[in-house]
Amino acid sequence: MMRHSFLAAFLVPALLLVACEKKVTLDNYNAIKVGMTQAEVENMLGKGELQVNSGASISGAGVLGGATQNSLDTYTWREGQKEISVTFKDGKVFTSSNGGL
């Protein structure tokens, strides 16, 4: 029994450190490249939060239209005040931005 508590005393904190690994970092942001797949970005940052894009469109003639659906999906990763946002077009990085890094 003593051996189990000894292992737990060292194993649990080590697992917590791995789970708490910072992912929203400038190095990870700089590693994001246009054309990377969403899976590649998620391997680095984990699962992001999908941002809902809705609103009205305005045509070239200035006519207000209804909400439009586009093939762009923006995901955000946050840790405290730090944030990385990536817009994917057809499942690949189209643009990225950051805040607080």
**What would the pLDDT profile of 34-50 be if each residue is shown by its tens digit?**
999 999 999 999 999 99
Percentage, residues of the chain above pLDDT 70: 62
Domain count, the chain: 1
8 within a domain of the structure (yes/no) = no
Beta bridge partners of 54: none
**Under 8 Å between Cβ of 62 and 6:** no
CA 97 to chain centroid, in Å, comes to 11
11 within a domain of the structure (yes/no) = no
Residue 53's pLDDT band (boundaries 50, 70, 90)? low
Q: Could you tell me the residue range of the domain that residue 42 belongs to? A: 22-99
**Under 8 Å between Cβ of 23 and 44:** yes
Per-chain mean pLDDT for the chain: 79
42 within a domain of the structure (yes/no) = yes
* Cβ atoms < 10 Å from Cβ of 27: 9
CATH of the domain at 67: 3.30.1450.10
Which pTM does this prediction carry? 0.67
51 within a domain of the structure (yes/no) = yes
7 within a domain of the structure (yes/no) = no
10 within a domain of the structure (yes/no) = no
CA distance to 40, 65, 67, 74, per residue, from 56 (Å) = 32, 6, 5, 18
